[in-house]
Amino acid sequence: MFKILKYSFYDLMRSRWSYVYFLFYLALGFVLLFLNNDINKAIITLMNIIIVLTPLIGTIFGVMYYYNSKEFTELLLAQPIKRSTIFMGQYLGISISLTLSLALGLGIPFLLYGLFRSTAIFDFGLLLVVGSFLNFIFVALAFNIALSNENKIKGFGYAILMWLFLAVIYDGIFLISLLVFNEYPLDKFSLIATMFNPIDLSRILILLKLDISALLGYTGAIFKKFFGTNLGMIISFVVLFLWVLFPVWRMNIKLRRKDF
């Protein structure tokens, strides 16, 4: 698995799309710091971009890599190697390369602007950790979708629809539910509904750390009321870890039943 991980990692790092991804975050970091001239404000602005864009990039890269390397994967499957070993190596290679591009792309401009001399260093670290979680989650979800659809067009379509649902549509349904049933106690419903969306959960995790959960409105206030800042962060991390674990587990179950 380590050899396959290393191959997938180097293969993606040589890809021009990895450089485009890295350069995009590098330019974004410099532009935000130049416009804000304040690391704390730049981090808050960056949060909204990363929480939406990172899942999209992870989804597209995951589906694209699966379909583009299908012939090579079939060649590996003809060897005495476990299916789970092959796909876990590819999955980890993609996720780690995307996370490295994200960390370096944002880390370089913030370090040059004096991140270590700022009180926002822990907030920035949390932002990178959340971005890494989102990479691992959405690459795993993309692999699940690709494994379930042999047709490349359908696979890409379902993957984009999945991202669109979690990034936009889910919040709309959630807000409509709060408005329609506002006469009922919705505290527990809000907490549970938030945990079913890793993008919303990541946003809450960052806002709790920045102590500006009021910006999230009703859900953020309830989350802080029920759990408090520290416990809320721990619960958020545990749920995000489960969001990584469950798609990976389902991917391995799917691999056992799939006929290549």
Residue 90 predicted with pLDDT over 90: no
Q: Which of 143-152, 157-166, 221-230 is predicted least confidently?
A: 221-230
Q: What is the pLDDT of residues 66-82, one digit of tens each?
A: 888 888 777 877 777 78
In this prediction, residues 17-40 reach a mean pLDDT of 83
Q: What is the DSSP string of 162-177?
A: HHHIIIIIHHHHHHHH
pLDDT in tens, 118-128: 777 888 888 89
Provide the pLDDT for residue 222. 64
For residue 223, what pLDDT is reported?
65
Most confident of 84-98, 99-113, 129-143, 174-188: 129-143
Query: What pLDDT is recorded for position 212?
Result: 58
DSSP state of 213: G
Question: For position 145, what pLDDT does the model report?
Answer: 93
Total domains present in the chain: 1
For range 212-232, the mean pLDDT: 60
229 — pLDDT class (breaks 50, 70, 90): low
- The pLDDT, as a whole number, for residue 220 is 57
Distance CA 132, CA 105 (A): 13
Read off the tokens for 65. 């890599």
Only one residue has tokens 């379909």, namely 67
Residue 93 near residue 9 (C-beta atoms within 8 A):
yes
Please report which confidence band the pLDDT of residue 218 belongs to, taking 50, 70 and 90 as the band edges: low
Domain of residue 80, residue span? 2-257
Name the average pLDDT for the chain.
82
Any residues with CB less than 8 A from the CB of 40 and at least 6 apart, and which?
118, 119, 120, 123
Q: Could you report the per-residue pLDDT of 175-187, keeping only the tens digit for each?
A: 888 788 777 777 7
pLDDT of residue 216: 54
Task: Quote the CA–CA distance of 155 and 63 in Å, as a whole number.
Answer: 7
**Which of 149, 102, 153 lies closest to 129 in space, CA to CA?**
102
